[in-house]
Amino acid sequence: MKKDIEKKKKKGIGLALSGGGYRAALFHLGSLWRLNELGILKKIDEITSVSGGSILAAYVGLNWKNLKFQKDVAENFEELIVKPFRKFCSISIDIKCGALGMLSPFHHPSNLLISQYKKLLYGKDKLSDLPYDSQGPRFTFYATSLQTGASVRFAKPYMADYHLGMIMNPDLDMATVVAASSAFPSPFCPVKLRLDPSLWKETEGADLHDNKKMKSLLLLGDGGIYDNMGLERIWDTYETVMVSDAGRRMKMITDSFLIRVSQIGRALRSFHIAHQQNQAVRRRFLIELAKNNPSHVPVYWGIATEIEGYKDKNKVPTPPLMKDTDETRALKQVRTRLNKFEDSEQKALINWGYALADSAVRTHMTGYKEKMGKLPY
């Protein structure tokens, strides 16, 4: 959003979970596992998420009340979160929903995606079932409006598009919110959200608030279309900004045949280049914020990060739990689909997210340097 609709807090911890399908969800699962062991998960004020990150964040949020914290560590995290979520990531849903939806005159792929999320993860749970701010982190989910071109944010207290305004305490199924956040174009885009236009509250800068038609029907796509790291809500709101980034990395093309002969190929390549540059700018901006504000602590780890490059302020390397190898470098090219991930793939991604989060935290946050972890698998 151009201007946040809530008062800036300027303290606490915000965590952003990027998009990237099951790959991202599993990578973030490892990251959250390590943050929990370090006692940080319970201290986080807000978790923002996009696409694959939203699939996991919603599951964690809905189960937050059942996490049993002892000295800031949830002792049942593996049993309550890891095992059921890994089971979900062993089920393919993208081809099933996409193909059946495109062949059926009665069901759009996005509606089938919502049905699968309800069946396999969220049931009838709603945004309102997430914890209050006093009970746990605020969970904020990003989608993108295909009409206004802005991000649309969903949380327990409100949903908002800065062009339209805000709806307080939205009555929305969690499965629908996550489907909108992960509605990668195409076939799952758009997710159609029909709303009572009278529910919208006018906010500062809401230049389309009087457009009843737009407030009645939102056409939503993947949150990553606008911001695949989900950073804007938290990067100037909290002093400590943590980012777990498992987004797509663009491959170099040495054989230009497809680009030369195919208009679709050129269009897709142009989209990927623009998307990569957008994310690169956000990463650089996060670093610049820290340079200009000494109290601002960015803690970034990405699936393409060289783990052996983490060094503290005195240029002293933080001992990593893993080493950079051909196998770890290959993880950044793993598919970002919502299809079955084998046991070995899941363990590799979880371990990598766990190890990178460990190195990032012990390098950039005080009080954690000596708290070595042990890889889950």
**pLDDT value of position 318:** 86
| pLDDT tens, residue by residue, 272-302 | 555 565 666 666 667 676 556 666 788 999 9
Question: What CA dihedral angle connects 11, 144, 129 and 341, to 10 degrees?
Answer: -100
Amino acid making up residue 7: K
Q: How far apart are CA 225 and CA 357, in angstroms?
A: 25
Dist CA 180 CA 221 (whole Å): 6
**Mean pLDDT, to the nearest integer, of 107-135?**
94
How many residues can be counted in the chain?
377
Contact predicate 54/338, CB 8 Å: no
Confidence of residue 32 (pLDDT cuts 50, 70, 90): very high
Do residues 120 and 178 touch, judged by C-beta distance below 8 A? no
CA distance 202 to 165: 5
Based on its alpha-carbon atoms, the radius of gyration of the chain, rounded to whole angstroms, reads 20
- Residue whose entry in the numeric block shows the structure tokens 């796509």: 221
Q: Return the higher-pLDDT residue of 190 and 81.
A: 81
pLDDT in tens, 214-234: 999 999 999 888 888 888 888
Q: What pLDDT is attached to residue 278?
A: 63
Mean pLDDT (the chain, rounded): 88
Lowest-pLDDT range of 124-133, 244-253, 259-268: 259-268
Q: What is the biggest distance separating any 2 CA atoms in the chain, rounded to whole angstroms?
A: 63
Q: How would residue 4 be classed by pLDDT, with cut points 50, 70 and 90? A: very low
**Which tokens belong to 202?**
């006018």
pLDDT at position 57 over 80: yes
Distance of CA 347 to the CA centre of its chain: 20
pTM: 0.90
Q: Tell me the C-alpha distance between 349 and 341, whole Å.
A: 10
> Predicted confidence band at 206 (pLDDT cuts at 50, 70, 90)?
very high
Handedness of CA 148, 221, 47, 292 (dihedral sign): negative
153 membership: H or E segment, kind and range: strand 151-154
pLDDT of residue 297: 84
pLDDT digits (tens, 9 = 90+) for 322-371: 999 999 999 999 999 899 999 999 999 999 999 999 999 999 998 998 89
| Spatial separation of the C-alpha atoms in residues 229 and 235, rounded to whole Å | 11
Q: Of the candidates 11, 2, 14, 32, which has an alpha carbon nearest to the alpha carbon of residue 231?
A: 14
* DSSP collapsed to 3 states, 179-239: HHHCCCCCCCCCEEEECCHHHCECCCCCCCCCCHHHHHEEEEEECHHHHCCCCCCCCCCCC
